[in-house]
Amino acid sequence: MAEYDEIKFERKIDTDPYFEVVYYYLEEDEYYTLYRKIDTEDAKIVAAKIVKNDLFTYYTDINTPANGMTSISEAELGNIKIIEIKLSIDQSGAESPRTMELKTSVALRNKI
């Protein structure tokens, strides 16, 4: 699953031979909180006081980064080459001139 505010994928993250389901998602209260859940473990907070819910952008072509999508159909999931992650955080919990935007991207090594 790949949406603007959540992503779920399978990944081998430990030494056993099995893949785990990794799930990142936002929950809204006064502001947004980013959680990570692996298989049946309890969810853990990754970041809090996020003021925008446009967390993930997906790119299917590394040569046209302006064509990012915030939602990918199930048929297109295998075409994702880059995932951009953007956090807009403000200590007050609301957008203001002090809001910090932190952004990075991940290129999927088996897709490039």
CA–CA separation, 61 vs 67, rounded Å?
Answer: 8
DSSP 8-state symbol, 69: B
CA–CA separation, 1 vs 73, rounded Å?
Answer: 8
User: What predicted TM-score, i.e. pTM, was given to this entire model?
Assistant: 0.81
CA–CA separation, 5 vs 75, rounded Å?
Answer: 19
Using a pLDDT cut of 90, give the percent of the chain over it.
44
For residues 101 and 66, the model is more confident at: 101
Q: List phi, psi (to 5°) of 77.
A: -55, -40
**Site of tokens 């590394």:** 62
Render pLDDT for 23-78 as a digit per residue (tens, 0 to 9).
Answer: 999 999 889 999 999 999 999 999 999 999 989 988 887 665 567 877 787 888 88
